[in-house]
Amino acid sequence: MSRLDPPAAWEPTSDDRNDEQFGHVVEPVSAEGAIDADAVLLGEPYDGAVIGRPGAREGPAAIRRELAGVKTHRFGSGAAPLVGDCGDVSLDGREPVADAQETVAAVARRLHESGAFPVFLGGDNSLTYANARPLLERGSLGVVNLDAHLDVREARDGPTSGTPYRQLFEAGLDAYACVGARHFETSTAYAEYVAERGGTVVTAEALGDGVERAAERALDALGDVERVYVSVDLDVLDATAAPGVSAPTPGGLTTRELFRVLRRVVADERVRGFEVVECAPPLDRDGRTVAAAARAVAHVLSTVASRGQP
C-alpha cells in the first residue's frame, strides 16, 4: 500500500470572523474507505518526468498555502464546500517514472472509490495518466485537457510529462478534447495522432469566439462517455499570467477565461476528477502562477459542491 505523508496544518490568513477562507473548511481525512466530504485533495510532489524546467514538486505545498487564504464565497453559488485533505503521496523523485505512476495510481484508485470528488495537486503532467487511469478501468472515459500542448508524445525511453494522453489512448481512452492549445507549440505528427483518434482541439485563439462555446465544444466532443476527467496544465495560461511553469509561452488563456471554462465543464455531473499540474513555485514571479492554481481549485471545489442544487 502506498504511503501518504500527512498534510500540513491549514492556516487561514484573516482575523476577521466574517472572512470564511478555505483554511477554515479543509480538514484532514484518511484515504482509506469512504470520505464524508464534497471533495478530497491529494498532493503529488513530483517532477521527475518533466521535459522542460523542474520545480513542480513544490507545487502542492504552495497551492495549499495560497488556497488557505482564499475566501470560500463565489457569487451565485451555494454554501462553501466540505473539503478533506489526505496529504501527499510519498515520492522521492528518484524512482523511475513508470514506478511513480504506479504508486500514484494506487492512491488515486482509492480516492475515486471513496465517494468524494478527487482533486489532485501536481506535480508534473506525467501523473495525469496515474490519476485518470482508475476511471478508465471502471468504464468509458473522456478527458478535457486544458493545456498549451497535446501531450501525446511517444514514450520511447519511458513515460515523460509529454506522454500521458498517448498512454491513456493506448489503455483504451474513449474521447479527448484539448482546450487552449497554441499554434506553433506542437508537432504535426502529434496533431494528426489526436485527429486520427477522433480527438478535438480547441485552440487558445478560438476562445476569442466565446468561452462558453469553447467549453461546449469540448464537452460535445466527448460524446456519451460515462465519466469525464479534467486536467489543467497551468501552461494553458498566457506566460504573463503563469510564468512559473515548465514551458511558459505567449498567446494563452487569461485566468478569467480559465475559470469560466472550468466552471462550465465541471458542472457536468459526468466529471469525476480534476487535477492542476505543472505549478513550479521556484520559477514563479510575484506568486502569480500559484495564485492562479489555487483559485482554479477554488472554482472547481465550489462548482462540485453546487452540482445538483436548485
Domain at 67, CATH number: 3.40.800.10
Please give the single-letter amino acid code of residue 301: L
Closest CA to 178 of 170, 120, 164: 164
- pTM over 0.95? The answer is yes
The number of domains in the chain is: 1
One-character DSSP codes across 175-220: EEEEEEEPTTSS-HHHHHHHHHTT-EEEETGGGGG-HHHHHHHHHH
Tens place of pLDDT per residue across the chain (310 aa): 578 999 989 999 999 999 999 999 999 999 988 899 999 999 999 999 998 899 999 999 999 999 999 999 999 887 788 999 999 999 988 889 999 999 999 999 999 999 999 999 999 999 999 999 999 999 999 999 999 999 999 988 889 999 999 999 999 999 999 999 999 999 999 999 999 999 999 999 999 889 999 999 999 999 999 999 999 999 999 999 999 999 999 999 999 999 999 999 999 999 999 999 999 999 999 999 999 999 999 999 999 998 865 4
Q: 175 lies in which domain range?
A: 4-306
